[in-house]
Amino acid sequence: MTALLETKAISKRFGGLEAVSGVDLRLERGEVRALIGPNGAGKTTLVSLISGRLSPTSGRVLFAGRDVTSLRAWDRVGLGIVYTFQVTSIYRGFSVYDNVALAAQRRRLRALADWIALDRQAVARDVEAALATVGLWALRDQPARALAYGHQRLLEVAMALALRPELLILDEPSQGLAAAEIDGLCGLVRDIARAATVLVIEHNMAVVLELAGRVTVMDQGRIIAEGTPREIEAHAEVQKAYLGR
């Protein structure tokens, strides 16, 4: 069966630094995969290669069996690869509703002629569905800058959902959230996983144990282990490199 995502010996060098080195990663449809590792392990570089924000020095990225290595980031979004950033990226001066509407409209617009034929009622339905999923529909008229930090993170997820991802990449989604907000985030990711594959970079091991079916561990640009959360907890090399034991 064709995997949803595969990287084939993917590498990225910045001058003399090899941030990602010959990584083979395979994600099946419908799974929640956690990507963990110490700071500087290459996690964000790897997902930037997957999403198209960076071009590899060598290797390939396959999505649903198609080689997408040469595609730009937005073209990959059109195929269903959607990435939310570690640092919240929203339009702070726009309303909550308009932030999500921009994403919903952009998914539907491929050319100028598309704007003329744009189904604005369908866009409105997309926006309502995304905001309802993350619990922000009641705040739709507020300016994004007025939201609490946790709600801003949820708004970015809503914008991602409006793009209809097949693969949703979440980079440190629990960073800066209170315990109650993290509980809500875990429930939200489980809901999203009913319709999309999720790849989550996460340092909070409680979140990893709660969400992930499998865990991939990186260190110094390479994958050093893969397995279930319990297998990873007991893995000697992971304990040395990441868990500090």
Domains and CATH numbers, the chain: 1-70+165-245 (3.40.50.300), 81-164 (3.40.50.300)
Mean local confidence (pLDDT), 225-234: 89
CA-based nearest residue to 187, from 155, 232, 214, 154 = 154
pLDDT over 80 at 99, yes or no: yes
Mean pLDDT of 130-157: 93
| pLDDT of 224 strictly over 50 | yes
Residue 209: band (very low, low, confident or very high) from pLDDT cuts 50, 70, 90: confident
Query: What pLDDT shows up at residue 91?
Result: 87
Residue 226 has a pLDDT of 95
pTM over 0.85, yes/no: yes
For range 106-113, the mean pLDDT: 59
Question: Which tens digits make up the pLDDT trace of 146-180?
Answer: 999 889 989 999 999 999 999 999 998 888 888 88
Mean pLDDT of the region 177-195: 91
- Name the pLDDT band for 242 (thresholds 50, 70, 90): low
Predicted confidence (pLDDT) at residue 108 exceeds the cutoff of 80: no
The stretch 218-229 carries a mean pLDDT of 94
Instruction: Write out the DSSP string of the chain.
Output: ---SEEEEEEEEEETTEEEEEEEEEEE-TT-EEEEE-STTSSHHHHHHHHHTSS--SEEEEEETTEE-TT--HHHHHHHTEEEE-SS----TTSBHHHHHHHHHHHHH-SSHHHHHT--HHHHHHHHHHHHHHHT-GGGTTSBGGGS-HHHHHHHHHHHHHHT--SEEEEESTTTT--HHHHHHHHHHHHHHTTTSEEEEE---HHHHHHH-SEEEEEETTEEEEEE-HHHHHT-HHHIIIII--
